[in-house]
């Protein structure tokens, strides 16, 4: 498995573990929210949504607004 795929796999597994942790009765909800948000933000969107990179280069063309 390539390094990029290993990184993605590791993050998805950590998100799963975090979900299990968050369901525990004595879980720290603030910790789960912060860590979960950080993990989701670090996921590469180009693997999940082809054509949507950080710059959204292939996004839709919007008509110009009239003033």
- The CA–CA distances, whole Å, from 48 to 3, 32, 44 equal 17, 23, 7
> How many percent of the chain have pLDDT more than 70?
66
Mean pLDDT over the full length of the chain: 78
Q: What is the reported pTM? A: 0.62
Instruction: Read off the pLDDT band of 8 (50, 70, 90).
Output: confident
Instruction: Read off the pLDDT band of 43 (50, 70, 90).
Output: confident
Domain range annotation of the chain: 3-41
């Amino acid at each position: 498995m390539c390094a990029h795929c290993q990184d993605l796999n590791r993050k998805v597994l950590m998100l799963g573990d975090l979900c299990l942790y968050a369901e525990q009765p004595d879980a720290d909800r603030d910790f789960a929210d912060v860590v979960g948000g950080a993990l989701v933000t670090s996921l590469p969107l180009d693997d999940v949504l082809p054509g949507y990179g950080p710059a959204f280069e292939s996004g839709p063309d919007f008509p110009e607004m009239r003033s």
